[in-house]
């Protein structure tokens, strides 16, 4: 049976209406992001665009059983300039390429769940287990959103675990992740099997007195069924479409000011093509107060496939409410 965002939204309404409620906490929040974007490409003019323009409702209800029921519904009003293009050769998300996706009024972050001392069970859009090891950045993303699935998250002292599942009618995925954290240090690992593609990630981070450093490594490997599907579509010579990525990020923050420098490398191998990309990204931010954030980003990216070097930049003013 397929999960649908409409069905989950109805389930949220059901939780809100149930008589087994001792207390409730409902929050309406949103964000508006306006960007000034540009690159050093010939003929690429400076432009004003939008980032996230959305609002959402989250609700938690303490049930008579001592458990807590919760739900979320978010509506993306405008995602016409979205950083997160999918690299068709690897299936990864390229955070530096602006594309037109979605539509006005697109539902997102739709889920319901129940949590207590045993942990947290969620239905709908669920956390990605494989991202427990992806701790440095998401320039090249090991996973993709699962909007129809079931997850469990548990915390046992310094150890956290996550498991998720999405049926074949949705994303056909199963994953498991674990992390350990103590005294500013954390390490995580995650694995996922999705549509015959095996994803694995491992990473660690350390934070102290406003400074932080994080690094991660992930791999993607095609299974036999994916290779056979390529053959059926006439893609020859038949070979696995594998990829791996390494990233490191250093950052510092004080008095509302944040700075981060990220390096990320993606390498892919296939008999009929290669996919090697590098990205260096500088992020700066200043919290103006009242939910207002002024930030800047400069990214230098090299794509060996296209033999191109591109520098892009963005200044963003965001207001949360």
- Under 8 Å CB-to-CB from 144, ≥6 apart: which residues? 86, 91, 93, 171
Q: How many domains does the chain have?
A: 1
Task: List the chain pLDDT tens, one digit each, 321 residues.
Answer: 344 444 444 444 444 444 434 457 899 999 999 999 999 888 778 899 888 899 899 999 988 788 999 999 998 886 444 444 333 233 333 444 433 334 455 667 899 999 998 999 999 999 999 999 999 988 988 888 898 999 999 999 999 999 999 999 889 999 999 999 999 999 999 999 998 889 999 999 999 999 999 999 999 987 655 555 555 555 444 445 688 999 999 999 999 999 999 999 998 765 444 568 899 999 999 999 999 999 999 999 987 666 678 899 999 999 999
Q: Where are the beta strands (DSSP E) in 64-169?
A: 68-76, 82-86, 93-99, 106-116, 119-126, 146-156, 159-166
Q: Is 233 exposed, middle or buried (0-12, 13-18, 19+ CB in 10 A)?
A: exposed
Instruction: Please report the pLDDT score of residue 219 as a whole number.
Output: 94
Note the pTM of the prediction, 2 decimals. 0.76
Do the beta carbons of residue 98 and residue 83 sit within 8 Å? yes
Contact 226, 270 (CB under 8 A): no
Q: How far is CA 70 from CA 75, 149, 153, 241, in A?
A: 17, 16, 14, 40
In this predicted structure, what is the pLDDT of residue 231?
Answer: 57
Q: What is the pLDDT of residue 265?
A: 93
Whole-angstrom distance, CA of residue 85 vs CA of residue 108 = 17
Q: State the Cα–Cα distance between residues 283 and 259, nearest whole angstrom.
A: 6
Those residues with Cβ within 8 angstroms of residue 209's Cβ, 6 or more apart along the chain or in another chain: none
The CATH number of the domain where 217 resides is what? 2.40.160.10
Both tokens assigned to 186: 């954390």
Range of the domain at 283: 5-320
Cβ contact 34:50 at 8 Å: yes
Vertex 273: Cα angle to 270 and 278 (nearest 5): 95
Q: Which residues, listed in sequence order, are joined to residue 317 by a DSSP beta bridge?
A: 34, 294
């Amino acid at each position: 049976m397929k999960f649908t965002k409409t069905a989950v939204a109805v389930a949220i309404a059901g939780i809100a209406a149930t008589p087994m409620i001792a207390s409730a906490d409902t929050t309406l929040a949103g964000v508006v992001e306006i960007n000034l974007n540009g690159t050093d490409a010939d003929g690429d003019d400076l432009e004003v665009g939008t980032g996230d323009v959305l609002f959402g409702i989250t609700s938690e209800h303490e049930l008579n059983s001592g458990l807590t029921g919760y739900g979320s519904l978010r509506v993306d009003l405008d995602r016409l300039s979205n950083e997160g293009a999918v690299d068709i050769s690897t299936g990864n998300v390229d955070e530096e390429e602006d594309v037109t996706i979605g539509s006005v009024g697109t539902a997102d972050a739709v889920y319901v769940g129940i949590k207590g001392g045993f942990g947290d069970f969620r239905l709908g859009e669920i956390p990605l287990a494989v991202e427990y090891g992806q701790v440095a950045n998401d320039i090249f993303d090991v996973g993709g959103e699962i909007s129809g699935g079931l997850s469990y998250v548990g915390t046992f002292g310094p150890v956290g675990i996550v498991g998720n599942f999405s049926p074949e009618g949705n994303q056909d995925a199963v994953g498991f992740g674990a992390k350990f954290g103590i005294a500013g240090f954390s390490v995580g690992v995650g694995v996922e099997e999705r549509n015959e593609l095996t994803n694995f990630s491992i990473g660690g981070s350390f934070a102290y007195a406003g400074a932080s450093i994080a690094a991660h490594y992930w791999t993607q490997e095609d299974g036999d069924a994916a290779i056979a599907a390529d053959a059926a579509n006439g893609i020859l010579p038949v070979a696995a479409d594998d990829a791996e990525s390494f990233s490191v990020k250093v950052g510092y923050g004080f008095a509302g000011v944040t700075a981060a420098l990220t390096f990320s490398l993606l390498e892919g191998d296939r008999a009929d093509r290669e996919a090697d990309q590098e990205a260096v990204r500088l992020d700066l931010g200043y919290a103006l107060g009242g939910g207002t954030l002024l930030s800047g980003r400069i990214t230098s990216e090299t794509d060996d496939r296209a033999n191109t070097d591109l520098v892009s930049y963005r200044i963003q003013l965001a207001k949360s409410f």
